[in-house]
Amino acid sequence: MRTALVTGASRGIGRAIALRLGREGVRVAVHYAVDGTAAEEVVTAITEAGGEAFPVRAELGVDGDVETLFAALEKEVDGLDILVNNAGIFISGGIAEVTPEAYDRLFAVNVRAPFFIVQRALPLLRDGGRVVTITSGVTRMAFPESPAYVATKGAVEVLNRTLAKELGPRGITVNSVSPGITDTDMNAGWLRGDPRAQEEAAGQAALARVGAAEDIADVVAFVVSDDARWVTGTVLDATGGSGL
Nearer to ligand NAP, 33 or 167 (CB): 33
Nearer to ligand NAP, 126 or 198 (CB): 198
Task: Tell the smallest beta-carbon distance from residue 103 to ligand NAP (Å).
Answer: 15
Alpha-carbon span 113 to 88, nearest angstrom: 9
Sign of CA dihedral 70, 29, 219, 198: negative
Task: Tell the smallest beta-carbon distance from residue 169 to ligand NAP (Å).
Answer: 28
Q: Which of 115, 138, 149, 163 is catalytic?
A: 149
Among 179, 215, 232, 235, binds ligand NAP (CB under 6 A): 179
Window 73 to 132, contacts with ligand NAP (CB under 6 A): 86-90, 109
The verdict on 181 binding ligand NAP (CB under 6 A) reads yes
Backbone φ and ψ for 215, nearest 5 degrees, come out as: -60, -35
On whether the CB atoms of residues 236 and 176 are closer than 8 A, the answer is: yes
16 DSSP β-pair partners? none
The verdict on 240 binding ligand NAP (CB under 6 A) reads no
Q: Which stretch binds ligand NAP (CB under 6 A): 7-15, 43-51, 91-99, 119-127?
A: 7-15
Among 3, 4, 11, 148, binds ligand NAP (CB under 6 A): 11
Alpha-carbon span 112 to 61, nearest angstrom: 7
Instruction: Give alpha helix (H) positions in the chain.
Output: 12-23, 36-48, 65-73, 100-107, 113-121, 147-167, 185-191, 195-203, 213-223
Among 28, 29, 73, 134, binds ligand NAP (CB under 6 A): 134
Window 34 to 53, contacts with ligand NAP (CB under 6 A): 34-35, 38
CB atoms within 10 A of CB 123: 8
Question: What stretches of the chain adopt beta strand conformation (E)?
Answer: 3-6, 27-32, 53-57, 80-85, 125-134, 173-179, 235-238
Alpha-carbon span 64 to 47, nearest angstrom: 30
The verdict on 220 binding ligand NAP (CB under 6 A) reads no
Among 3, 139, 173, 184, binds ligand NAP (CB under 6 A): 184
The verdict on 172 binding ligand NAP (CB under 6 A) reads no
Q: Rounded to whole angstroms, what are the CA distances from 46 to 49, 87, 215? A: 5, 19, 18
**Binding positions for ligand NAP, rule: CB under 6 A:** 8-14, 32-35, 38, 59-61, 86-90, 109, 134, 136, 179, 181-182, 184-187
**Active-site annotation, residues:** 149
